[in-house]
Amino acid sequence: MLGSYRMETNVAPSQGTLAQCTPMLIPLTRKKFEDLVPLVASASQYRYFWGSLADILRRVLISIISVVVVGMIRLVIGENAELLMFTGGVFCGFYWLWGPIFWASRRNWEFRKYPYSGFWQGRVLDVFVSEELVGTEETVNKKGELVIVENRERRINLEVGDESGFETRIQVPLKRDHKAIRRGQVVELLVLSNRPDLSTITNLSDAYLPDRDVWVSDYPYVQRGLFVEVSRQIYREAEPDEEPPRERPRRSAPRRSSGRRSRPL
């Protein structure tokens, strides 16, 4: 059920570190990062862990078994901790409902443990579809023989990179809107690191392609509306400024570029 990113990082030594070379790696403050990646599960993250009917039934079964266990413990210890047992029974009985909140929040916490983050922009270098083995099942055929059935899933593979030589591959389950992805399109995402200069990238967030308004991800780590706002803010502040025209001499004033911002957002 849980997806993963395949990362194959390659930064050419002659080109320096990623943070030094690419004009579109912008450090984020801790507050901005925590706004983008919530601590408690968001609605989309809750839906992700809500799962299929089989997942729901599995949680319901766990809830029933937990309530039975709590009831047996109460019979053993008597009425000495009746309030505690009642509270535990209610808590366990509703696991099927609050379980997705717990698992999503736990995954968010693991993602938020990296101390440094940045907003990265690059381009799609290559895109292709592959079939990956996601599990196996044992079954018996008509002859009574035990056979192993492989469960495969179609996944999209995005190779992205920038001018510094940084490249990485993102692999997630294939969705219908991924058909719009082409080579050369702009891609944006969050990069995480244990280094303050972001010279070593440890993990990635959801990838966003603003030209097509398409997200490439399995688990929705970021608050997508806020991510788009941050992206637009960066573009606005990176646009070149124009000086007002002068009467003398009668020619347009030269354009002055403000460049990419280097201070954290």
78: in domain: yes
- pLDDT tens series, the chain, 265 aa: 323 333 343 333 333 333 333 348 999 999 999 999 999 999 999 999 999 999 999 999 999 999 999 988 888 887 777 888 888 899 999 999 999 999 999 999 999 999 999 999 999 999 999 988 777 878 887 777 788 887 888 999 999 998 888 899 999 999 999 999 999 999 999 999 999 988 889 999 999 999 999 999 999 999 999 999 999 888 787 665 545 555 444 444 434 434 444 566 7
pTM: 0.73
Per DSSP, the residues of the chain read ------------GGG--HHHH-TTEEE--HHHHHHHS-SS--HHHHHHHH--HHHHHHHHHHHHHHHHHHHHHHHHHTTTTHHHHHHHHHHHHTHHHHHHHHHHHHHHHHHHT-SEEEEEEEEEEEEEEEEEEEEEEEEE-TTS-EEEEEEEEEEEEEEEE-TTS-EEEEEEE--GGGGG--TT-EEEEEEEESSTT--S--EE--EEETTTTEEE-SS--S-HHHHHHHHHHHHHHHSPB-PPP-SSS-SPPPPB------S--
The answer to whether residue 63 is domain-embedded is: yes
261: in domain: no
Quick check: is 222 in a domain? no
The count of structural domains within the chain is: 1
- On whether residue 15 sits in a domain, the answer given is no
Domain membership of residue 69 (yes or no) is yes
Tell me the residue range of the domain where 56 lies.
Answer: 45-111
**Residue 62 included in any domain:** yes
In this structure, is residue 29 part of a structural domain? no
CB burial class (10 A; 0-12, 13-18, 19+) of residue 265? middle
